[in-house]
Amino acid sequence: MQITVGIIGCGSITKFRHAPEYWENPHVKEIVFFDRNRHRAEELAEKYQGRVADTVDDLLNDPSIDAISDCSSNEVHHIHSSQALRSGKHVLCEKPLAISVEHANKILAAQRESGKKLMVDHNQRLTKVHQKAKEIIESKEYGDVLTFKTTFGHQGPEKWGATKSNATWFFKKERSHSGVAGDLGIHKIDLIHYLLDDEIASVHGFHGALHKVDEHGEPIEVNDNVVCALKTKKGRLGTASFSWTYYGLEDNSTTIYCEKGVIKIYHDPQNQIIVETKDGATIKYELESIQTNDNQTNTGVIDAFVDAIIHDKKPIVTGEDAISSLRVIEKLLGR
């Protein structure tokens, strides 16, 4: 079986991940691109031998299209993804699912009414390293998880987004809404939920716009740094920090402290998991190099989405999963 896929938004995430990964998936017949900056859609259509849609309605009303990747900016996910589901398409929506839980609920309602699949791109779950870490944690070899520490930070989205400038939508309140918290933080909240098979119940933190400036040299309207303390439903305690001002190499590391050992994830580029046991042993795992903005490797997300459609399976990241992470971000920002 082969499917045709439409993509809304042809910026960086489409260029580096969605388009090449659909292109390489043997079950994908054709990709149809739409962007309000038409030249971005045209460039990708040429590279991946696809088509360009003139309007979002043309894309959603095209009966040959089975599924949509919603790669537009955050403030329109609830519009595009809901419309796509109601048009009978399966949807892979970029994270954050929406700019608020209220908006995200609209997407979930559309999903339930349509019966189509909704997956959200919390890609951290799918890295070989995080999959292995989950296996180690679930084996209980080192006992139960007691506490954790996680961080995600890089030099900022003005170097990543399609515009490559400080005028980026990532810095605008009405478009990004939640700054680095919703951009990077939500990945780690989802990861902690997934690794620990648990949910953050309580969060207290600080956030601020410490250093980034917009195109006029003014401090940005959203947070560029967050530090917080977290408590899960099962009583685990943790800390997290998320940053757009780590002006060195990207930091994507997590530490899980268990009853009989410590699991260190992405602290060392060579040995992506290092386990230090209570009795003094060190076990090192060399799995795959980390995906960073500068090192784009297959995320597995597109393959998992296509697989869920072809084999009628539940997606690995559901709308409900995404809402539970979004809820933590809202609490963190006091909304």
Ligand X SMILES: NC(=O)c1ccc[n+]([C@@H]2O[C@H](COP(=O)([O-])OP(=O)(O)OC[C@H]3O[C@@H](n4cnc5c(N)ncnc54)[C@H](O)[C@@H]3O)[C@@H](O)[C@H]2O)c1
Interacting residues toward ligand X by CB under 6 A: 8-14, 35-37, 40, 71-74, 76, 94-95, 121, 123, 160-162, 169, 183
Nearest approach in angstroms of CB 34 to ligand X is 6
Task: Calculate the CA 253 to chain-centre distance.
Answer: 16
Nearest approach in angstroms of CB 78 to ligand X is 11
Nearest approach in angstroms of CB 256 to ligand X is 21
* Residues forming beta bridges with residue 243, ordered by sequence position: 153, 225
Using the minimum distance from each CB to ligand X, give the nearer residue, 121 or 136: 121
Q: Cβ distance 249 to 235 under 8 Å?
A: no
Using the minimum distance from each CB to ligand X, give the nearer residue, 11 or 261: 11
d(CA 134, CA 132): 5
Using the minimum distance from each CB to ligand X, give the nearer residue, 37 or 282: 37
Query: What is residue 126's three-state secondary structure?
Result: helix
Nearest approach in angstroms of CB 147 to ligand X is 26
Using the minimum distance from each CB to ligand X, give the nearer residue, 14 or 254: 14
In the bound state, the residue with its beta carbon closest to ligand X is 11
Nearest approach in angstroms of CB 185 to ligand X is 12
Using the minimum distance from each CB to ligand X, give the nearer residue, 95 or 103: 95
Q: What is the per-residue burial (b if ≥16 Cβ within 10 Å, else e) of 261-273?
A: bbbbbbeeeebbb
d(CA 38, CA 42): 6
Q: Which of 24, 14, 173 is nearest to 99 (CA)?
A: 173
Q: Beta-strand (E) ranges in 144-248?
A: 145-153, 200-208, 225-232, 237-243
